[in-house]
Structure 1
Amino acid sequence: MNEGVLRVVIVDDEAPARARLRDLLGDVAATQPTVLAGMAANGVEALRLIEAGEVDVVLADIRMPVMDGVELARHLGRLERPPAVVFTTAYDQYAVQAFELAAADYLLKPVRAERLAEALARARRSLRPADEALQRIAPGARQHFGVSERGRILLVPIAEVLFLRAELKYVTAHTAEREYLLDESLVQLETEFAGRFLRIHRNCLVARSAVVGVERAGEQEGEAHWEILLANDAGRLPVSRRQWPTVKQVLGI
């Protein structure tokens, strides 16, 4: 991390809160020199800013529309050189203790100049946020998959994913338009999104919302099995014999 001037991005959905942090950065510049690299109203806007240029520290609100601060931190943790994350929050002292596990520091609103200076000093020494700790703070909170592609993080809305398939060492997320390569395990995804995806095969999870029916297939070839029918004629997926009882129960067949 830069030992001199820190490049900072402020992320908060409230304009007055962004302005206050910007002013406070000026107040502590003598001891913690910074340059404002940009301001954003949510995590998606922040990711675009961070991809556009080098950033050392992200001051991120916890609760925001579109993408909150916790999900933003999880995506940032997958960058080759992730910035330090400092959460800003209105939570009380007891709830905030959990955030220390996953961020360089936290700031209680209204933010004070001396605490901001301390947080920036700690950010210089911090490591990337631990994804496991972020998962404990907001289990299952993600609304997007973060996909590294050509030096950028593509945000794939999880609601658009039809199914997830394990292929060799990777998992591919399939939407109606294309497929994306995820650096995550199928077991991890099944646990995190148990209410959204259903395992139909040892190497495949299907989005429950994408299932429009099931159909018997392969009887003429002597390998009869059940297949999941996907919405909008997006195709079929085979159901393994082992998973069929669970699939049948979940789908109410």
Structure 2
Amino acid sequence: MTALNVLIVDDEPLARARLRTLLGDCHSPAAAVGGEADGAAQALALVGRAHFDLVLLDIHMPGTDGMTLAETLARLPQPPAVVFVTAHAEHAVKAFEIDAVDYLTKPVRRERLQAALQKVERLAQVHAGPEPDLSEEQWLVIHERGRTLRVPVSEVLYFKAELKYITVRTAAATYVLDDSLAQLAERLPPRFVRIHRNALVARGAIRALVRQHDPVEGDGWAVRLAGIDEVLMVSRRQVAALRESLGE
């Protein structure tokens, strides 16, 4: 596993600095500080912009306390692991009731922090498991607006990365998938071809390669797909490979 991406949440700058130093001395697994926050509001803003594997969280802070913040984090679609780091031992029972991975009391020793990181790593490996390849007969499981949908991979015309999500387009509908395009590409069947760093298209759905002007990328090439009016821009570096793939 790569280094754990860690968010430190503590209203005391010296406490954050000590944890940052201790994390730098941890190696199995290693950990990288991806952000620091002095309270719940700042922490939630950071979590909204980036994924963290772990939040090292103080309990007693001005405003929203660490317990309440942990309960909020647990409701996220992909919640980070939480390890409490506090000077108060009396909250340990409640901490584990809300599924904290560990509970460390200050002053934290490196060995104790390293053991907590190992727990987080083991938990992540259990939750991840091996991801199967997506064959033509398999389905994408998509969660949106309080419902769960199964979309056949064979019906997908294209996948396009949009900020933190992927747009999934079929001839009948558009869906939003919470995934990484790079990771998804490794699992897709070979009938999908990359036309841009942010787009994968079903080769069999391509009807034409046409000249197109894009407001951002300027003059270039685009593909027209069966069943929809939308065209997708092809990056300059992908044009030659796409022509070869289409047998031109």
Given the two structures, how large is their TM-score scaled by the length of structure 1? 0.47
Given the two structures, how large is their TM-score scaled by the length of structure 2? 0.47
Larger radius of gyration: 2
